[in-house]
Amino acid sequence: MRRCSITGLAAVAVFSVLRCVALAAVSEPPADPKIDPAPCFAAAMAETDPGQIIASCGPVIDNEKTPAADRLRAVLARAAAFRRQQQDEPAIADYDAALKLDPTLADIFNARGELWRRKGERPRALSDFSAAIKLDPQHAAARANYKSLAQELERIGAQMAVNNKPSFNCSVARRPVEKAICADPALAKLDGEIEGVLALVLNDIGRNSAIGRKERREHAAYLATRNASFGRRGYDLHKAMEARLRDLAGVDGY
């Protein structure tokens, strides 16, 4: 009985095809399927158990193939669910993610500000309320939150002890950044230290000397930047004040 065999060029061709198929199977990772966002959106619309919303929206948020619009909607749904469970930290993290996707959401700045205020982070809360109002000057909730927090900060500032007082009078402070400084003992102390080191520097080098005039110009620029930047996304008041104190402390060995 004659046996059939593959020889010569035919054998080479078959081997090449099999080898390519094997390599393709090894080198090509399985496709990452798009997650259906419908269950997440349906749970959010129905305002079902927050745990169900969190569970169904998580895969939508984490999947790289989710369109930005669907991811934003899922993030906001999950943030609201976290908030209903009084899980402030993950809710704030989701609001952070939402504002990275769309930094024009005045409602979300206001919502995050309310969580910061509940956590006792008054400067951050005031910054978020201010950002919401800048985006939407007629935002009623943000304006009400800003007004009530500003009044609270004024009361706190007026009650502050003599120690850790800032360089200005808190009872007449009007700028949001000044009210935030008055309400936070650490910021108030930093502001007082900045003013104290600046006075020492100007006293030693001469207020009207060339270096003194330069230092005064730089300090005026710092204040202008601080006042204009407070409330903007990404601005860290504490870090900015610490940086200014380090700059001043480096002058002539202070």
Q: Both 128 and 223 in a single domain?
A: yes
The answer, as to whether pTM is greater than 0.75, is no
The tens digit of pLDDT for each residue in 217-251 reads: 999 999 999 999 998 888 999 999 999 988 876 54
Which two three-digit tokens encode residue 127?
């910054």
The pLDDT of residue 138: 94
Query: Residue 148: pLDDT band by 50, 70, 90 thresholds?
Result: confident
Which of 102, 131, 154 terminates a domain? The answer is: 102
Domain total for the chain? 2
Which of 79, 102, 125 terminates a domain? The answer is: 102
Q: Both 86 and 125 in a single domain?
A: no
Q: Both 85 and 168 in a single domain?
A: no
Which of 71, 102, 133 terminates a domain? The answer is: 102
* Whether residue 208 has pLDDT greater than 70: yes
Q: Both 71 and 164 in a single domain?
A: no
Query: Residue 22: pLDDT band by 50, 70, 90 thresholds?
Result: very low
The tens digit of pLDDT for each residue in 37-91 reads: 899 999 889 877 899 999 999 999 999 999 999 999 999 999 999 999 999 999 9
Q: Which domain holds residue 202?
A: 113-254
Q: Both 200 and 227 in a single domain?
A: yes
Q: Both 79 and 151 in a single domain?
A: no
